[in-house]
């Protein structure tokens, strides 16, 4: 793959100019070329703009940059790096899509075969008890929105970006931030590939590549590893709205359901059961096209009970009578999980750093009460692109990005929604009451701003304050164990023989993988323990080993060693790149880093 990026970049090369510090160019001046050169033993490629992450924010930024270039008869070279094996492979979202930002970015998208075909046809809100579903007035306004697969949408956006001249490189994980002698960010480097677990070089070894840019935009999504380093090192949280970020984990399946049960465009959100009244969260059921149903559960990661398992809560949710009857007779075809930002307005960091900016969910622009973040992520990417264009062409400052964010509808939307999520720090009933007050009385203009509670990792109680939760065993039809969700099943085919004899058989050529997750087994672990003694010394005795439950892929499990003592075992190959471990570990002892590019899940319809 590294050879591929070098060949593609060389083919696109337009000559190498001087590095950072070159004077701003006038429209029509030559751009930095995607040309190869050696730096510190690694090959280096130079661009005007390097974007990390081919999600909605990163691709919106790339498209907008090239649109501005065309309008001004200018030329800026733009590169987008994506750690997934293909664009969209790591993208997971509900998703009820608000097209506001896309209308601004590509006004004629409806005539350009965008994968946005299912308008919302009904919008329901349920309060669940164990056996009942009570209909409440819907607080959502989804008129004009669409039920989509975000992984399909970003693949379409990538083709639009490439048509404009953007170079998109999937399968490359940015693992390092590059600085110059003045500590200004000058780009990123991909990790070496072909390194064995023991640190030796395998036959397939390829050194990483440096991608240097005059401006670097980080669009890694929620809890991006490079973004978090930048936020921490430059104290961007303190320079922004000041409060810590809060998170949730979303667990999702795609089902193919029976034709008679399928209602394209139907949207249902729920609160209540199976979560307890001190745990914030809810579920969704979205009807796409082709008999597909997106079903998921979102659990806030500031939950207290260390015995709670978000994965098992999701399986339990599917057993609700109103939900199970919808799934019976259907087939689960895809599974995945991803964390999402819930801090909202109070947690927005100052998004500009020397040499670049943070955009999209890496900065945390999700609107919690709307349960939407794609439109705000895209808009932030567009605003960053406009500031980047002016910085490179006109010599202005990237501070313009922050100024324009505060003038945009993103700021107003998140400011209006700022009190919904922290209201639930007081429990489910007070949270619902305060949310109703915000929506129907103050209409987002309340004279106060609520604060978030403890950071998610500090919210976990000691195990002796709770009783272990006994989850029901999976039935293999509606509910599943983790290996079944992660790995494969055979698709049953029907064959017609002569004389109208029919047989059923499992065709290996139709082997399905629900998450498509895969990593090179012989590579250094990308899940690292800062102190290898913490799991057995603290997590297991104090918190009953919560990492074995908060991870939705069973990456972490305690096994007995040769002395009969419990030992944490890490199944890194199972990792879905959800980042829950990096967030929820009580002592912040787990560091999530990027594995070899191309590893991880392979979502197609998420």
Show which residues are catalytic.
93, 338, 374, 551, 575, 578, 581
| Cα(274)–Cα(133) distance, integer angstroms | 12
CB 551 within 8 A of CB 580: yes
CB 13 within 8 A of CB 36: yes
CB 51 within 8 A of CB 81: yes
The helix or strand, by DSSP H or E, that contains position 108, with its residue range, turns out to be none
Q: What are residue 176's DSSP bridge partners?
A: 189
Would strands 122-128 and 133-136 be described as parallel, antiparallel, or unpaired? antiparallel
**126 Rama sector, left if φ>0, alpha if ψ -120 to 50, beta otherwise:** beta
Tokens of 243: 């409060």
CB 557 within 8 A of CB 571: yes
| Cα(417)–Cα(424) distance, integer angstroms | 13
Q: Which of 573, 543, 568, 540 is nearest to 556 (CA)?
A: 568
Check residue 280 and report its DSSP letter.
-
Check residue 600 and report its DSSP letter.
B
Rg of the chain in Å (alpha carbons): 24
Tokens of 305: 């009970």
Would strands 209-218 and 42-52 be described as parallel, antiparallel, or unpaired? parallel
**427 Rama sector, left if φ>0, alpha if ψ -120 to 50, beta otherwise:** left
Burial (CB count <10 Å: 0-12, 13-18, 19+), residue 211: buried
């Amino acid at each position: 793959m590294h050879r591929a990026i070098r060949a593609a970049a060389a083919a696109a090369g337009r000559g190498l100019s001087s590095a950072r510090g070159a004077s701003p160019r006038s429209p029509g001046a030559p751009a930095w070329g995607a040309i190869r050169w050696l730096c510190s033993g690694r090959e280096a490629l130079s661009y005007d703009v390097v974007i990390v992450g081919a999600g909605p924010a990163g691709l919106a930024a790339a498209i907008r940059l090239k649109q501005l270039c065309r309008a001004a008869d200018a030329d800026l070279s733009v590169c987008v790096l994506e750690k997934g094996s293909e664009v969209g492979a790591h993208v997971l979202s509900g998703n009820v899509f608000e097209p506001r930002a896309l209308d601004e970015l590509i006004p004629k998208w409806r005539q350009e075969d965008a994968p946005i075909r299912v308008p919302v046809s009904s919008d329901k809100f349920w309060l669940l008890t164990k056996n009942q579903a009570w209909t409440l007035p819907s607080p959502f306004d989804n008129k004009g929105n669409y039920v989509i697969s975000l992984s399909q949408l970003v693949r379409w956006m990538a083709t639009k970006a490439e048509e404009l001249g953007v170079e998109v490189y999937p399968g490359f994980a940015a693992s390092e931030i590059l600085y110059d002698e003045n500590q200004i960010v000058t780009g990123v480097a991909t990790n070496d590939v072909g390194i064995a677990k023991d640190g030796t070089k395998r036959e397939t070894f390829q050194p990483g590549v440096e991608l240097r840019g005059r401006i670097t935009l980080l669009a890694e999504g929620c809890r991006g590893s490079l973004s978090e380093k930048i936020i921490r090192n430059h104290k961007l949280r303190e320079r922004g709205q000041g409060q810590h970020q809060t998170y949730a984990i979303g667990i999702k399946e795609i089902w193919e359901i029976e034709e008679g049960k399928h209602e394209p465009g139907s949207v249902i959100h729920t609160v209540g059961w199976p979560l307890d009244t001190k745990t914030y969260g809810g579920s969704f059921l979205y009807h796409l096209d082709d008999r597909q149903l997106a079903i998921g559960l979102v659990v806030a990661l500031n939950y207290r009970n260390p015995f709670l398992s978000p994965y098992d809560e999701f399986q339990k949710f599917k057993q609700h009578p109103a939900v199970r009857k919808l799934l019976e007779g259907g087939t689960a075809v895809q599974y995945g999980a991803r964390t999402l930002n819930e801090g909202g307005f109070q947690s927005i960091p100052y998004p500009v750093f020397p040499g670049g900016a943070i955009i999209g969910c890496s900065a945390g622009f999700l609107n919690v009460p709307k349960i939407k973040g794609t439109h705000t992520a895209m808009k932030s990417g567009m605003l960053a692109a406009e500031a980047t264009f002016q910085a490179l062409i006109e010599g202005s400052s990237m501070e313009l990005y922050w100024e324009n964010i505060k003038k945009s509808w993103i700021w107003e939307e998140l400011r209006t929604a700022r009190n919904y999520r922290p209201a639930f720090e007081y429990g489910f009933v007070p949270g619902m009451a305060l949310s109703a007050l915000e929506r129907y009385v103050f209409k987002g203009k309340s004279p106060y701003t609520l604060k978030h509670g403890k950071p998610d990792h500090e919210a976990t109680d000691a195990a002796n304050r709770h009783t272990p939760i006994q989850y029901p065993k999976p039935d293999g039809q509606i509910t599943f164990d983790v290996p079944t969700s992660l790995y494969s099943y055979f698709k049953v085919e029907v064959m017609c023989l002569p004389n109208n004899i029919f047989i059923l058989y499992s065709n290996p050529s139709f082997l399905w993988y629900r998450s498509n997750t895969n990593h090179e087994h012989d590579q250094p672990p990308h899940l690292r323990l800062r102190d290898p003694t913490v799991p057995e010394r603290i997590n297991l005795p104090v918190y009953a080993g919560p990492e074995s439950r908060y991870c939705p892929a069973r990456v972490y499990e305690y096994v007995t060693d040769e002395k009969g003592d419990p030992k944490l075992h890490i199944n890194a190959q199972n990792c879905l790149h959800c980042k829950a471990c990096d967030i929820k570990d009580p002592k912040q002892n787990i560091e999530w880093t990027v594995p070899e590019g191309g590893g991880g899940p392979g979502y197609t319809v998420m």
